[in-house]
Amino acid sequence: MATMPNKETVLKSVDSMKEGTESMKEGVMDRASAAVDSMKERASAAVDGAQREAAELQETVTRGAAKVADTVSSKLKAAGVDTDVMVGAAKEQATELQRLIAEELKARPFRALGVAAAFGLVVGLLSSR
């Protein structure tokens, strides 16, 4: 016949299990915290790298656009076209176009709203593909 453990032995075993559980819990929490910190550092490094690359790309595109503009301007001037006059004319036409659009919007607001809604629908359908 097996002997029953006494109450004191059972309580010691329960306390030992509690300590083991607490120790495991602390270990898991420490590892999870370390993993979160590591992921934060990696994400931050990735964001920093992406921002750097975006800034470099923007600088490259800006330089390229400036070179193209200079080349086109010099070729037009060599061909006898005054680019300053062209810029002035383009600004005047843009201003006139803005004025015409504003007048049309004031004269026919519902028509303008319908056109805008149709345009939005088409853009939405095309972008969903």
pLDDT at 104: 87
Residue positions counted in the chain: 129
- CA gap 111, 32 in Å, rounded: 59
Place of tokens 């600004």: 91
pLDDT at 49: 85
- CA gap 129, 125 in Å, rounded: 7
The per-residue pLDDT for range 28-46, each reduced to its tens digit, is 899 999 999 989 888 888 8
Query: What mean pLDDT is predicted for residues 114-120?
Result: 90
pLDDT at 73: 81
For residues 112 and 104, the answer to whether their CB atoms sit within 8 Å is yes
> What is the phi/psi pair of residue 96, to 5°?
-65, -40
pLDDT at 122: 93
Ramachandran region of residue 80, left (φ > 0), alpha (ψ -120 to 50) or beta? left
Domain spans, the chain: 11-81, 82-129
Residue 1 pLDDT more than 70?
no
The per-residue pLDDT for range 61-110, each reduced to its tens digit, is 999 999 998 888 888 888 877 777 888 888 999 999 999 989 988 898 89
Query: Whole-prediction pTM value?
Result: 0.41
For residue 126, the one-letter residue type is L
